[in-house]
Chains A and B, each alone.
Chain A
Amino acid sequence: MKLEGKRLIWKDYQKEIPDDKYFYVRSCIRQNFFPASEHHFLKIMREDLGKDVYETEHHTTCGGIGYHCDVIQLETIMSIVARQFALMTEAGYKNYAVSCITSFGLYTEIIHTWQTFPEILEKTRRQLKEATGREFEIPEHVAHASDIIFKLRHEIAAKAKYKLINQKTGKPLKVVEHIGCHYAKMFPHKGVGGAEYPYVLAGMVEAWGGEVVDYPERRHCCGFGFRQYFVKSNRGYSLSNTHKKFESMEPFKPDMIITNCPGCPYFLDRWQYVIAESEGKTYGENGHGIPVFTYEEVAGLVMGYDPWDLGLQVHQIAVEPLLDKMGIPYDPEAKYKGLEGKDLGKPELPQNICCC
C-alpha cells in the first residue's frame, strides 16, 4: 500500500468546509440509535471549540427514508427540503450542517438538480411559498457533520485526553472506517477524499493516532439498504451484506469501527449479534464483537467524555475492550444507570457473543 498514491487522489477531492456558523439539522433515527452522538457534536462544537451552531426544533425529516423506500415523490421531497432551507434562511445562516448522510446525499442531489434545471427550482419556490408562505435560499455550503469534525480534527487532537493507541502495546489502534453509501458514492466531489478512497473518517483516525484498515469490502454497503431491511422477507440480504463485510475485515483484526451514517453503525453493531446468535460466529477478540462507533462518539472518547455519557451502553457490542485498550477509565456499575443514577435495567445477555 502506497499512502502517497491515496494522498494524490485525496488532493482531487477537496471541498470547502467553513469552520463556523452552521445551521444544524438532525437525523431522524440517530437519536434513537445513538442518542448522545448529536448531543455531543453540539457540545464539542459549542463548548469545546467555541463554534456557532444553530438548531431549531421546527425542522423535520428531509424525506430521505421515504425517498429511498420509493414511497414519496421527489417533488414533495423538494418542498420539504426547501422548507428546511427556509428555516436556515430565516435564522440568518448560510452554512448547512447535516447529521445524516442520507439527508446529505439528498440535499446534494436536490441542489444539483435545481442548479441543472432552474425551472424546477422555481417550481419548488412557488410550491413552498404557496404551502407555507416561506422563502428560502440555497445554502452556500452544505457540510456533513463529519466534514466539520474532519475540518476541526487537529483542534480536537490538540485538546485530546486519549489517543487511538493501544496503551498496552503502544501501537496505533486498527480502525475500520465506513463512510456509508450516500456520503460520496453519488457525488464523489462532495465528499472529502472522494468515493474510492474516502478521507473524511480516515483523516480523523490519522489525526487521533489510529491506523486505518483498508480491507477488500471497504466500499461495500453496511447492509441497511432501506427496502432490504424494512421488509422482513428481504432482511436476509441486509444481513448477508453485513456478513460479507465482516468476513472481509476479519483477517485484519480491527480494534474498532468508525462510521459516518445513521444506519451503518446500527447495522454493523446489531447484525454482529444476529450473526453470532444464528451462525455462532464472532469477529472480535475473546468472543467479543468489533465495537462500532459514530465519529462523534470517537471524538467524545478522545476528548475524554465519560463513555456512559456518550451513550455507549446502548451499543449491542460491548465497548469495554476498546476502552481498556485506549486506557479510558469507566465505572462498570454505572453502565446501566441513567440520568441522576436512575436504573435503566440490565439487558438480557446473548448466548454466543460476549457483551460485557
Chain B
Amino acid sequence: MEDVIVVIGGGPAGMEAALSLAGRGHKVYIVEKTNALGGHLARWDRLFPQQDPAQEILNDMLAGIKNADDKIEVICNAQVQSVKKRMRGLEVMLSNQKMILADAVLVCCGFDLFRAERKEEYGYGIYDNVLTSADLEERFKHKKVLCADGRVPEKVAFVHCVGSRDEKVDHTYCSKVCCVTAVKQACEIKELYPQAEVFNLYMDLRMFDRYFEQMYHKAQSHYGVHFVRGRLSEVSETADGRLQIKTEDTLLGRPMKITVDMLVLMVGMQACAQTEELSEKLDLKVSASDHFFETKDLFLKGNYAHTKGIFLAGACTGPKSLPDTLQDARSAAESIHRYLTA
C-alpha cells in the first residue's frame, strides 16, 4: 500500500517536494490556498544569479506535476481545517470538507513579503514613485519600468533591508535574498535604460552565494551602479513629483541626499500570515525571535517538526533563496521517505 503525504502549500517548495515524493512512489496531495500553483515564483520575472526566466522554471515544475498526475493530486482553493492524530497517521480535514488520511504532512507554506507601508517614512503607498521589489518585478515582466507620469526614470534608488534587520518592525533577521535581488534589479534597470543612474543603499552587502560576488562586481564595473553604504532615513516628494531621499554615506561619515525618479524598496521575507493558525492546528513550534517555524534541529533534523509525522520545508522555516528552497524541499522528501520506510 502506498503512503499518503499531504503537502500544505503549492509554491516551489511544495511542488518540488511533491515531485520528489512521487518519484519515490508515494501518493501526494498538494493543498494550495490560492487558485494556482507557483507561489511567489509566479510573480517573478527573472531569477538571480543568472537571469533565468522564472516562468520557465515554473513551467518545468508544473509539467512534472502534470506527468505525475497518478501520484500527485493538486487541491487548489483549499486550506487545512484541522489535523488529528489517528492510530496510524494523521487525519487531515480540508476547508472543502475533503478528508485525507495521511501518513505524513509536509508544511511548505512559504513566506509573505514585508508590508512596505509599515515603514511610513519610506512613503510606500503615498508617493507615486515608491515601489517594492515585487512591484518592479511585475514591471520587468512587461519590459517597461516607467514613472507614474510615464517618464523613463533617469535616477533610480534601491533600498536594501526594508523590513529586515530592523528591530522596529520586529524583524531582526536578514532575509538573505534582497541584496542579490537588488543588485540583479539594478543591473536590469541599467539594461533597460542604460542612461539611468542607479543607486543601491545598503547596510552590508551579503553576497554570500555562488556567482553573487561576480554579479556585484559586474554591477559596479560594467553597469556603473553606485553603491552607497547607508540606510534610507526618509523620503519626500519634490515639487516636480520626484523623490528626495536622505541617507548617510557611512563610509564618508556624511549625510547625503539625492533626488531620484523612482525608489525601489527591497522588501524582505516574513513568516506567512497562516503561521500562527497552522502552528495551532498542527502543533508546531514558532521561533520567538523570527516567527518562522522551528525545526527539530538545524542539522540532521532540519526538516522535522517537533510533532511526529509532520515535516517542514522551504521559506516557512526562515528566509531562503529559490535554489535553497528547492534543495530543502528535496531534503524534506528524503526525510519523509526515511521516516515512512523506517
Contact = CB atoms under 8 A, between A and B. Distances in A.
Contacts of A214: 236-237
B52 interface: no
B256 to A, nearest CB: 14
Given A5-B117, A196-B120, A215 B126 contact: no
A214 B236 CA distance: 8
A1 B234 contact: no
Given A9-B120, A194-B120, A197-B120, A251 B239 contact: yes
A7 B283 CA distance: 39
Interface stretch (A98-106, A216-224, A338-346): A216-224
Contact of B125 (A5, A216, A218, A219): A5
Nearest to B244: A216
A215 B239 contact: yes
Contacts of A197: 120, 126
A218 B237 CA distance: 10
B126 A1 contact: yes
Nearest to B234: A219
A9 to B, nearest CB: 6
A262 B244 CA distance: 29
- The SS class assigned to the A binding surface is helix
Interface in B115-164: 117, 120-121, 123-128
A216 B121 CA distance: 12
Contacts of A216: 236-238, 244
A168 interface: no
A217 B127 CA distance: 15
- The SS class assigned to the B binding surface is loop
A252 interface: yes
B239 A2 contact: no
Interface string A230-253: 000000000000000000000110
Contact of A196 (B121, B125, B128, B244): B121
Q: Quick one: which of B125, B128, B234, B239 has the most chain A CB within 10 A?
A: B239
B116 to A, nearest CB: 11
B235 to A, nearest CB: 9
A251 B238 contact: yes
Given A6-B126, A197-B126, A216-B244, A1 B237 contact: yes
B155 to A, nearest CB: 15
A194 to B, nearest CB: 7
Q: How large is the interface on A (under 10, 10 to 19, 20 to 34, 35 or more residues)?
A: 10 to 19
Nearest to B257: A216
B120 A1 contact: no
A8 interface: yes
B126 A2 contact: yes
Q: How large is the interface on B (under 10, 10 to 19, 20 to 34, 35 or more residues)?
A: 10 to 19
A197 B117 CA distance: 13
Interface string A181-198: 000000000000010110
Interface string B213-247: 00000000000000000000010111110001000
Given A9-B120, A194-B120, A197-B120, A215 B127 contact: no
Interface string A1-31: 1101110110000000000000000000000
Contacts of B117: 5, 8-9
B110 to A, nearest CB: 26
Contacts of B123: 5
Interface string B7-39: 000000000000000000000000000000000
B125 A8 contact: yes
A2 B128 contact: yes
A196 B125 CA distance: 13
A215 B239 CA distance: 7
Nearest to B236: A216
Nearest to A3: B126
Given A2-B128, A5-B126, A218 B239 contact: no
Contact of A218 (B124, B126, B236): B236
Contacts of B121: 196
B128 A1 contact: yes
A217 B236 contact: yes
Given A8-B117, A216-B237, A216-B238, A1 B125 contact: no
Contacts of A8: 117, 125
A8 B120 CA distance: 10
A57 B179 CA distance: 61
Contacts of B126: 1-2, 5-6, 9, 197
A2 B126 CA distance: 5
Contacts of B124: 5
A7 to B, nearest CB: 10
A2 B125 contact: yes
Contacts of B127: 1-2, 5
Contacts of B240: 251
B276 to A, nearest CB: 21
Contacts of B125: 2, 4-5, 8
A2 B241 CA distance: 12
A189 B236 CA distance: 21
B234 to A, nearest CB: 6
Contacts of A6: 126
Contacts of B239: 215, 251-252
Interface string B258-289: 00000000000000000000000000000000
A218 B234 CA distance: 11
B34 to A, nearest CB: 25
Q: Which 9 interchain pairs have the tightest Cβ spacing?
A: A5-B126, A251-B239, A5-B125, A216-B236, A216-B244, A196-B120, A252-B239, A196-B121, A6-B126
30 contacts: A1-B128, A1-B237, A2-B125, A2-B126, A2-B128, A4-B125, A5-B125, A5-B126, A6-B126, A8-B117, A8-B125, A9-B126, A196-B120, A197-B120, A197-B126, A214-B236, A214-B237, A215-B236, A215-B238, A215-B239, A216-B237, A216-B238, A216-B244, A217-B236, A218-B236, A219-B236, A251-B238, A251-B239, A251-B240, A252-B239
Interface of A: 1-2, 4-6, 8-9, 194, 196-197, 214-219, 251-252
Given A8-B125, A9-B120, A251-B240, 10 more contacts: A1-B126, A1-B127, A2-B126, A2-B127, A5-B117, A6-B126, A9-B126, A216-B236, A216-B244, A219-B236
